[in-house]
Amino acid sequence: MLALLLILIPLITGVVAFFIKNEKSVKTWALVASLATLVVSIWSLIHQDNYHSVYSKEWLPDLGSSFSLGLDGMGRMLTLLTAIAFPVIFVATNKSTYKDSNQFYGLMLLSLTGLMGVFLATDLLLFYFFWELALVPAYFLCSKWGGERRIPVTFKFFVYTFLGSLIMLIGILYLYFINPDKSFSLSSIYKIQLTDRAQDILFWMFFPAFAIKMPIFPFHTWQPDTYEQSPTATTMVLSGIMVKMGLFAVIRWLLPVFPKTAHQYDNIIIGFSVVGMIYASCIAMVQDDLKRLVAYSSIAHIGLMCATLFAGNSTGTQGVMIQMFNHGINIIGLWVVVELIERQFGTRKMSELGGIAQKAPVLAMLLVIVALANVALPLTNAFVGEFLMFSGLYHFNVWYAVIAGISIILAAIYTLNMIQKVFYGNTNRVTENGVDINWNEKLILSVVVILIFSMGIYPKPMIELTQASVDSLVGVFK
């Protein structure tokens, strides 16, 4: 039941939002809706029994597809992340005004519906449906409310992701036709005995869609542009949660269904991911725009997660699992800071900023904490995830860990550079009249900071929540 609620609440409130013309009201409405989702999500952590976690109803019986949802440990974690993220995003961007705000918030809530559906679906066709439902609103949000270059950028985003989706759809149908049960359900798909050749073909039909979504090198060039041009609220959804769709899909659908091919090509995929980590970190070092810096930093972090997933051992996979959550929290924290800076000073160019720490010490302090989590300093959440991931990658092959490890150093370089250029030094014409953040904003960043430390000091509950998902995945992979 709770699984269904997680979808229904944002869906209904989202549709209603389209009809609330008053900007203030629709903002409140969206916030209340997202908070309601959060309550349900927390409820689902408390009641982990079948009655609450599973929902199934006939949907398209002739096609062998049903409306089935299920919550496992990984699903609980990712729906929780999503449910935490949206209220944070709504509060942090509360001051931004949008033309046709009813449509903006309606689309945001529809995107939330899609994301929840992706994490909950236990039917492949339903999964695909939600996958698109999450993406299409993002496309509109960027093309309508984005920056100056939004049209070509959204077009690129559209081409990339829909090309991936299209090939995946063909793959889904192909998989359906060779399934003797003629069913899309997760359990029946897990049971299909695929020939090596079929595995090979199907793997490469699914993988590009997920690789683009994460994204990993060299499928990533849509991402920095899209992050830069989208309204920040959308960027937060894209980077904090939507990239997890790619990783999630690899864990839920790709590895268990095509383990042999995944194993066969592990070196190529890990190789590209690791090269991409260094590549993206290097590029991050020469960015001037804060949004692009965070975007490339994220590509590097996601590269590590993807590489470790294909290394296929339990230590690393456990790291990926909790890092999906932690990365979401940290990057949303970074975006909140970027948003606050841009709103106040009207620029995201580091070369034009400087000395903000004198004017906004609280903002500076909170940013430093989030930035330190971004470089995985011990006792912050990212350390636990990265430690386990590197350990797993090391176990798979020493040299991958060594090369990927260089990104730890590079991350320190670009992150500290950013802190220095934006916050330290003397104020200039742009920043001399800066003021510190208000209570609302402090509250939001404090939530992020509390999550950073609690997950960094006592990660045990999160590890236990996802342990079963890790075990079953690693079991399949062997």
For other proteins, give the closer residue by CB, 13 or 199.
13
For other proteins, give the closer residue by CB, 29 or 129.
129
Nearest approach in angstroms of CB 57 to other proteins is 6
User: Rule CB under 8 A: which of 301-320 touch other proteins?
Assistant: 313-315, 318-319
Is residue 56 at the binding interface for other proteins, with CB under 8 A as the rule? no
Nearest approach in angstroms of CB 232 to other proteins is 22
- Span interacting with other proteins, options 35-43, 137-145, 181-189, 324-332, rule CB under 8 A: 137-145
For other proteins, give the closer residue by CB, 258 or 279.
279
Contact between 65 and 126 under an 8 Å Cβ cutoff? The reply is: yes
From 49, 61, 177, 346, residue interacting with other proteins (rule: CB under 8 A):
61
For other proteins, give the closer residue by CB, 25 or 143.
143
Contact between 470 and 399 under an 8 Å Cβ cutoff? The reply is: no
Contact between 184 and 123 under an 8 Å Cβ cutoff? The reply is: yes
Is residue 279 at the binding interface for other proteins, with CB under 8 A as the rule? yes
Is residue 227 at the binding interface for other proteins, with CB under 8 A as the rule? no
Q: At 69, is the secondary structure helix, strand, or coil? A: strand
Contact between 312 and 474 under an 8 Å Cβ cutoff? The reply is: yes
Nearest approach in angstroms of CB 197 to other proteins is 28
Is residue 463 at the binding interface for other proteins, with CB under 8 A as the rule? yes
Nearest Cα neighbor of 257 from 336, 315, 212, 202 is 202
Distance CA 134, CA 140 (A): 11
x/- map, 397-426, other proteins, by CB under 8 A: -x--xx--xx-xx--xx--xx--x--xxxx
Integer angstrom CA distances of residue 105 from 111, 332, 334: 10, 18, 22
Instruction: Please compute Rg for the chain using Cα positions.
Output: 21
Peptide bond into 208 cis (omega under 30): no
Is residue 57 at the binding interface for other proteins, with CB under 8 A as the rule? yes
Number of other residues whose CB lies within 10 A of the CB of residue 94? 17
From 139, 206, 207, 210, residue interacting with other proteins (rule: CB under 8 A):
139
From 105, 140, 207, 248, residue interacting with other proteins (rule: CB under 8 A):
140
Contact between 124 and 172 under an 8 Å Cβ cutoff? The reply is: yes
Is residue 384 at the binding interface for other proteins, with CB under 8 A as the rule? yes
Nearest approach in angstroms of CB 89 to other proteins is 21
Contact between 146 and 228 under an 8 Å Cβ cutoff? The reply is: no
Q: Which residue has the tokens 């009809």?
A: 19
Nearest approach in angstroms of CB 199 to other proteins is 27
From 271, 387, 446, 472, residue interacting with other proteins (rule: CB under 8 A):
387
Is residue 60 at the binding interface for other proteins, with CB under 8 A as the rule? yes
Nearest approach in angstroms of CB 389 to other proteins is 10
Number of other residues whose CB lies within 10 A of the CB of residue 50? 9
Contact between 337 and 367 under an 8 Å Cβ cutoff? The reply is: yes
From 170, 178, 286, 468, residue interacting with other proteins (rule: CB under 8 A):
286
Query: Kind of pairing, strands 65-70 and 54-60?
Result: antiparallel
Nearest approach in angstroms of CB 214 to other proteins is 15
From 143, 264, 397, 446, residue interacting with other proteins (rule: CB under 8 A):
143
For other proteins, give the closer residue by CB, 155 or 190.
155
User: Rule CB under 8 A: which of 431-460 touch other proteins?
Assistant: 458-460
For other proteins, give the closer residue by CB, 347 or 467.
467
Distance CA 122, CA 168 (A): 17
# of chain residues touching other proteins (CB under 8 A): 72
Distance CA 80, CA 224 (A): 26
- The amino acid at residue 188 is S
Contact between 408 and 376 under an 8 Å Cβ cutoff? The reply is: yes
User: Rule CB under 8 A: which of 23-42 touch other proteins?
Assistant: none
For other proteins, give the closer residue by CB, 95 or 395.
395
Number of other residues whose CB lies within 10 A of the CB of residue 454? 13
Nearest approach in angstroms of CB 359 to other proteins is 12
Distance CA 133, CA 113 (A): 8
User: Rule CB under 8 A: which of 347-376 touch other proteins?
Assistant: 355, 357-358, 361, 372
